[in-house]
Amino acid sequence: MLHDVFTPSVQHVLDIAGIFVFAISGALLAVRKNFDVFGIAVLAEVTALGGGLFRDLVIGAVPPAAFTDLGYFLTPLVAALLVFFLHPQVERTQFAVNVFDAAGLGLFCVAGTTKAYDYGLGLTASATLGLATAVGGGVLRDIVANEVPSLVRWDRDLYAVPAIVGASIVALCLRYDALNGYTTGLAIVTAFVLRLLAMRYHWRAPRAWNRRSAAAEDAA
């Protein structure tokens, strides 16, 4: 195995923190969609564990941590319970969903990249898996909630780009042996803030050059 980026305990803390904030976002979306308590728990679990499960399967960390660490499974249930009793009024939950989702995006793009690198992947592959870890749970959340995933919607603010930036910062720090607590925090905060700014100022990725069809706008 290549050199350990983080101690197992630090990696575990990053994973649990990302799982918790993603689970909060999934549970809040379930409340907004008027799901029952079981639906809230399911959406919290899917959102929290989907990206990490995909990452672990790709890098060969089997069985995945979601099935070997009870904390990984129970943390989304705790988040779902908190949301069930303490969620804000339904009409105000969308902002909270977006904020917690942005926090999870920042945490998971970093945790995913470092774990992939620690399992022997190259920098580019590690950053790619960091991206997949960050966006995978959100994609599954939207699918289960019967929504087109934000990741592929042209009319939604930048979602993958902040995760790509965060994962790239980690990859660069690994390349120059500069990954530590400060640079890790910088990568997390950068991805988080970029996502918030994208939502605030409605930054969107460009569509096809010289696009002629107006079908998407007409359908909307």
DSSP tag of 91: G
pLDDT at res. 214:
53
Give me the residues of the chain with pLDDT under 50, please. Answer: 1-3, 90, 216, 218-220
**Contact of 53 with 66, CB cutoff 8 Å:** yes
What is the distance, to the nearest Å, from the Cα of residue 107 to the centroid of all Cα atoms in its chain? 7
pLDDT at res. 151:
85
Locate 60 and state its tokens: 């060969």
pLDDT at res. 220:
44
Rounded-to-integer distance, Cα 43 and Cα 30, Å: 6
Nearest alpha-carbon partner for 137 in 60, 203, 199, 47: 47
Give the helix/strand (H/E) hosting 39.
helix 37-59
Question: In the chain, what are the domain boundaries?
Answer: 8-205
Crossing angle of helices 93-118 and 160-175, in 10° steps, is 30
pLDDT at res. 79:
92
**Contact of 129 with 145, CB cutoff 8 Å:** no
pTM for the whole structure:
0.84
pLDDT at res. 164:
96
Rounded-to-integer distance, Cα 15 and Cα 9, Å: 10
Q: How far apart are the first and last CA of the chain?
A: 50
214: Cα within 13 Å, side-chain hemisphere: 1
pLDDT at res. 155:
80
Rounded-to-integer distance, Cα 69 and Cα 53, Å: 12
